[in-house]
Structure 1
Amino acid sequence: MAGVKRLSWKIAGFWFAIHLLAWGTGFVWGAAADLTVFLLVRPSLPPPWRWLPPSDNYQLLYYSLLSLLVVSLVLARWKVENRDRLFISAGMFYWLMAVVSFVVVEVLGEREGPRRDLGELAFISFYVASAGVMTTVVIFFLAYAIVSGSSLLYRRLFHS
């Protein structure tokens, strides 16, 4: 195993925290994407979805997780060596969990009335998950531009 560089415990813990935040953000995003259906079927869902508090507004929970994820990704931009792999895998975790969460709410929720067919469910879950990931990517790049620009301005003003 010559040439293989191992991650330190701090960096590995940071990777784990970012993936956990991506998982949690995708979980909330996918579950609450169709909020009326989620609130209707929440008691009949499996335990992780049932544990979400009954509320008609999940914005505070979602935006708290999203802001922690974006701040962690901005910090990882400077501190982590394989940051591109980290961003791609965190995005995949977010996307996959949003798809799974949306599909579980739609399929396993016991409710009356018409249900979506398989093609419509696949299209909407893909759209919902992709919209969440793209929103996170745009917010990340805006935050990174603001932080990088302000640190560059600070260096030019006070360290020249």
Structure 2
Amino acid sequence: MQTRDPKLYRPNVGLALFSSAGHVFLGRRINGRGAFQWQMPQGGIDEGETPADAALRELEEEVGVSGKLVDVMEETSDWLHYDFPADVKRRMPGPYIGQRQKWFALRFKGSDSDIRLDRHTPEFDAWRWARLEEAPGVIVPFKRPIYEEVSVRFRKFTGDKDQA
């Protein structure tokens, strides 16, 4: 396994928000470019914030869903990493060459009407429920290995007997 210097990777959380039917939330990025603009919510961990606190904050900010409407089923024990491609790195200020992420599996207890992309500054302009194994095929390619890993680790939450 490759050792990575954590100081070079921005601490981040990723959220696999599962519906009662075992599908995951995918949001379409606002102002995205290219074919692969769907993703699960993610965001940075603020200084002094735990990954779990960041996950619930990002859920509220990006999806408009309160932490009261989810059960946290799992947090990855390790950090998953990805590097920014050169074109992305040029557009991003700061010292980071990529992101390191703690991923959370969350069970959504609300209804679709509780999802409000406009509660804060919107990051998504549309959303949908999808099968977890679809997620790697719709994410930007440089994040695809992370989504493939998350799909393996969290497939037990899909309720799909073929995947359990």
TM-score, structure 2 as length reference:
0.25
- Whose Rg is larger? 1
The TM-score normalised by the length of structure 1 is: 0.26
Greater percentage in strand? 2
